[in-house]
Structure 1
Amino acid sequence: MHCYDCSQEGHNEATGIGCCTRCGLFTCADHSLIMRSPVQRPIGVIPMTSALPARRLVCGACRTAEAA
């Protein structure tokens, strides 16, 4: 798969490294960001937050939209 953003810019040779967890488009290393997100799991009636955050890959457009 090729990076969607690179193909829009005319650079069709860029290989995608992963799929954006928000929009689902493939993105390359230059157009993607690794975000950390807390993981919560129920322990009885109180949700516990894991000490280690999970990773998720997002494209630049989705990161901009999340920060707005």
Structure 2
Amino acid sequence: MNCYECALVRHSRTAVAVCRVCGVAVCADHAQTATADLRRPAGTGKIVRDLAARKIMCPVCRTADESP
């Protein structure tokens, strides 16, 4: 699978991840890493986990995620 962002500018690079939001394949240069809180229903117990998860996104979704 090749990187979608690279393909838009007529390059061919192997994808290393898939955007968590839109599902597009991205190479190491275009993969944007962020953290996400894990939320799990636990009845009356704790809902948000102590450790954050890794969230990989494409540049477009990362920009949208950070917009107000």
CA offsets per residue over residues 27-60 of structure 1, 9 Å max, x none? 0010111111001222223542111111121000
Point out 4+ residue stretches in structure 1 off by more than 6 angstroms. none
Q: After superposing the two structures, state which structure 1 stretch, 55-64 or 45-54, moved more.
A: 45-54
Map 1:30-49 to 2 at 5 A: 30-49=29-48
SS at match of 1:36: strand
TM-score relative to the length of structure 2: 0.86
Please list every run of 5 or more consecutive structure 2 residues that lacks an aligned counterpart in the other structure. none
TM-score relative to the length of structure 1: 0.86
Q: Which amino acid in the other structure matches residue 36 of structure 2?
A: S
2:50 corresponds in structure 1 to 51
SS at match of 1:57: strand
Would you say how many aligned residue pairs link Structure 1 and Structure 2?
67
Map 1:1-68 to 2 at 5 A: 1-12=1-12, 14-68=13-67
Higher strand share: 1
